[in-house]
Amino acid sequence: MRGLINSGIRFYLILVLVFLYLPILVMALFAFNKSPLYGLPFEFDLVWFEALAGNKRLLQAGWNSVWIALTNTVIATSLGTMAAVAFGRYTFRGKTLLQSLLFPPIAIPWLVIGTAMLVFFFWIGRSVGAPGLARGLHAILLGHVALSLPYVIFVVGARLNDYPKALEEAAATLGATPWQVFRRVSVPILAPGVVAAALFAFAVSFDQFVISYFLAPPGITTLPVEIYTSIRKGFTPEINAISSIIIFVSMGLMLIVARFYRFGGERSGNE
């Protein structure tokens, strides 16, 4: 009976994985199909990748998304890690309130947050006499950082709570300076959490549609917004091509991170 239950659970997990990955595989497969209408039989061709190379608007939108996501990752990870360390290591007035305020950006629908940010930036622009500040890549970046910070703080904070503070105290007792304790003890232990938080921040920013849609100025878009606009006008397999590139790059990065996730934590017996 137990074996039958295990087989049922295994079969259910396989169905879930197929449901999640089969549409992605089909989309990537048809990026190499010559037919623009997904016709069969399948005929291998790179025509849509060649067409993508000449689609300056889609490539520019992709570059905007990459630039915003990378910048957001650096800013959100740096600020979020410092905030997580402050929450985990220090006690100060208003700490509980600040920690509680981290939940609304995650719980509130992004449609509401996007509208609020648009109104906020528009109000700031009018206050300083520059209405153009309401929309632009700078506004999109600030919006993405605001959304990414809670995720970074939670991920790094969870990692910070997993190891005892006694390790830092032991290093200080042995004569290490505060900077040496942070660099040689805290950073290596926090590194997996920081990397995971950075990947989370990048994914949240790169995939963000609502905030980018509300705050993007005319003529400048990010990749999710451009794909949405292209689908409304008429879907082409060029979108499959750029999506396939994103999938291959993302999977490659995940494999690399998974391979070195322990950051030297495992050592051979000869060392």
pLDDT at 137 over 50: yes
Percent of the chain whose pLDDT exceeds 90: 8
pLDDT at 237: 76
Per-residue confidence at 234, pLDDT binned at 50, 70, 90? low
Per-residue confidence at 268, pLDDT binned at 50, 70, 90? very low
Strand, helix or coil for residue 26: helix
User: Does the pTM exceed 0.85?
Assistant: no
* Token pair 């904070």: residue: 157
Q: 137-160 and 110-127 helices cross at what angle (nearest 10)?
A: 130
Which one has a higher pLDDT value, 53 or 235? 53
Q: 137-160 and 56-89 helices cross at what angle (nearest 10)?
A: 40
83 token code pair: 């905030």
Q: Which of 219, 220, 218, 215 is nearest to 122 (CA)?
A: 215
pLDDT at 260: 66
pLDDT at 136 over 60: yes
Which three-class secondary structure string do you get for 76-141? HHHHHHHHHHHHHHCCCCCHHHHHHCCCHHHHCCHHHHHHHHHHHHHHHHHHCCCHHHHCCHHHHH
What's the CA gap between 177 and 195, in Å, rounded?
25
Burial class, 163, CB count within 10 angstroms (exposed 0-12 / middle 13-18 / buried 19+): middle
- Read off the pLDDT of residues 157-201 as tens digits, 9 standing for 90 and up: 888 887 777 777 788 888 888 788 878 887 888 888 888 889 889
Which one has a higher pLDDT value, 255 or 16? 16
What's the CA gap between 100 and 81, in Å, rounded?
17
- Average per-residue pLDDT for the chain: 81
What's the CA gap between 57 and 236, in Å, rounded?
14
The whole-number average pLDDT for the span 30-54 is 78
- Read off the pLDDT of residues 91-129 as tens digits, 9 standing for 90 and up: 888 888 888 888 888 888 888 888 888 888 888 877 776
Which one has a higher pLDDT value, 15 or 163? 15
